[in-house]
Amino acid sequence: MINQITSSVGCGLNVVKQPTQQTGLTPIKIVILGACSVGKSCLALQYVHNEFLRHDPTIEDTYRKYFLMDGNNVILDIVDTAGLEEFSRSMMGGWINDGEAFMLVYDITSKQSLEDAERIRNQIRQSKTKSRGPLILVGNKSDLGPSKREVESDEGEAKALSWDCPFLETSAKEGDNVDKAFEELTKLCLTYREKEKSVGKRKRKIRCVVL
């Protein structure tokens, strides 16, 4: 179950309110990655503010949202990254290291943007610390007509299947599937954490037995 508590947005994270229930906070950092103009900022703003705002090219912005999910008081930090190559090339390693989970976004009207998403995905999987981290593939601008589409839905689904990750098509303009994309990735984070805890417990138990 998901129950939003409050949200805020902006560079510098000027958070106004805290969750009303301080029974334990669960911070999660999601990094949105993709080529320039695929709609990364619009997705973040639609999710946090429930409105479509056109956005100048980003270097890096951070958004924060509080909500309840499956009994967890989640603090979701969303890092919106640059798509411009001169910034993304130099900053990509830091974004990958800082993120816990990744939303890879492409524009359904640009096949090149899907290729760019695959290149970024390969960089994540080559990282020593994030090689198994949760990610979701998102095809944005689904509101645009079929005549403008370069990437069919089944092509995006096939790509995500080969990556073993979820796939959604979204419209930041209309709000279609935007909440679902962020919530799906948050659930993946929570599940991944539980699996990592179980693996850690088993390893500690094995070491104790050997000793």
Number of structural domains, the chain? Answer: 1
Supply the DSSP symbol for 175: T
Residue by residue, DSSP assigns 96-158 as: HHH-SEEEEEEETT-HHHHHHHHHHHHHHHH-TTTTT--EEEEEE-TTS-GGG-SS-HHHHHH
CATH of the domain at 108: 3.40.50.300
* Residue 121 backbone phi and psi in degrees, to 5: -60, -40
Cβ-in-10-Å burial (0-12, 13-18, 19+) of 185 comes to buried
For residues 23-33, average pLDDT: 90
Question: What does pTM read for this prediction?
Answer: 0.83
The count of other CB atoms within 10 Å of the CB of residue 170 is 28
- pLDDT for 130-164, tens place per residue? 878 899 999 999 999 899 999 999 999 999 999 99
Percent of the chain with pLDDT over 90: 64
31-80 residue pLDDT tens = 999 999 999 999 999 999 999 987 666 778 999 999 999 889 999 999 99
Q: Which domain holds residue 150?
A: 2-210
| Number of Cβ atoms within 10 Å of the Cβ of 95 | 20
